[in-house]
Amino acid sequence: MEESEICSKQIHLDRCSYRKTQTLSTEKEVPQQHIQMKKLKFDKTGNAEFSKILRIRVNDHFKNNNKNIYGNANMVFKTVIMLSVFIIPIIIICTGVIANAYLLFTLYITSGLGMAGVGMGVMHDAIHGSYSKNQTVNKYLGYTMNLIGANANVWKVQHNVLHHTYTNIDHADDDINAPFFLRFSPNAKLYWIHRFQYLYIWFFYGLSTISWITTKDFVRVNRYKEMGFFKKGSEFKKEILKILGWKIFYYSYALVIPLLMAPLPTYIIILAFLSMHFVTGICISAVFQTAHIVSDASFPQPDAEGQMEGDWTVHQLATTSNYAPKSRFFSWLIGGLNFQVEHHLFPNISHVHYRELSVIVAETAQEFNVPYLVRDTFMDAISDHIDMLRQLGRA
């Protein structure tokens, strides 16, 4: 089978795995908010021609250009750079030679930028299985998620399965299932505090990776167990121990050793560590949220039978937006996630190909009169995201 032919099949792997999990979990008790999600289904006939033609054209692109769908030498170079930016500052801190608080903060924040780069440009492709044709390589590079304090298995359920399958669908897309003081969907309940969320949201974005390294993985792995994604019993206990073990390892090198070695007050070191995560959280949240929580993105709901209007491909185009398509360096920094439309359509294709694919997707969408959302710059996307948060706080 040609590499280009594989891409049309791999597009649906995560969604198929979810449907399989649904079947396995039908006899289990599931939290009320997820019962409707279990019945969700997309129309397989609507816009079928568009989806078919798009897949054919993308396959032909790889075949005609003698390319495969995975990463290339540029990905390897990026991996070395991002891991170095993350790890080297931590190593320097752990040596105990840093006695200046400003330099300590600088190193931790630099590591935070590297952490964001690892998350967006290395781990993301690896966990989607698009970094390498060798799935063992993808598996171990996916562990970079664990290396930065989170958990690859939990992320895969939240992101690969729930977010990518049910983008912007209330209660189904876990990326918009927020605490009561945040409202990411017009279908979510409105509280008076939401009118101020466009102001305080940035503080909570900054806390997002701190949540990952503390409570979030444990809360979600328990919830996903009830949904059937993790087996109950001894296997689940092993999963909990693995999560705990990775976190102990992370805290050991990122915080405990610096506390023991750095000749600085404890509170300074802890504040510097938190600043690293705050920077990472802002970076990652800004990149991901500006692709979906924007004014012209749709937030569709199923009918009483769980049927979604339109097929999955068009759903992704209606709920996802690109930004800064001409900024090559910015795109390199954020792992091609400014091409979120292409990523959602072809999550098992490495991000190094998204710029070329965007031309095909845009032209095909225009030909079939299907929406293709894009902002000229990242700042345009940020501005629109703020406007959308303000709008969601009012009605």
Total number of domains in the chain: 1
Tally of residues, the chain: 395
Q: Distance of CA 153 to CAs 6, 13, 156, 218, 220, Å? A: 24, 16, 5, 12, 11
Do 41 and 309 meet the contact criterion of CB atoms below 8 Å apart? no
Reported as a single tens digit per residue, the pLDDT across 349-377 is 999 999 999 999 999 999 999 999 999 99
Reported as a single tens digit per residue, the pLDDT across 168-188 is 999 999 999 999 999 999 999
Q: What is the mean pLDDT of the chain?
A: 90
pTM listed for this prediction: 0.88
Find the domain containing 195 and state its range: 3-392
The number of angstroms, rounded, from the C-alpha of 358 to the middle of its chain's C-alpha atoms is: 19
Q: 255 pLDDT exceeds 70?
A: yes
Contacts of 138 (CB under 8 A, 6+ apart): 125, 126, 127, 129, 130, 131, 132
Reported as a single tens digit per residue, the pLDDT across 208-236 is 999 999 999 999 999 999 999 998 898 89
Q: Dihedral sign, CA of 23, 27, 30, 35?
A: positive
Q: Which of 15-19, 49-53, 148-152, 198-202 has the lowest mean pLDDT?
A: 15-19
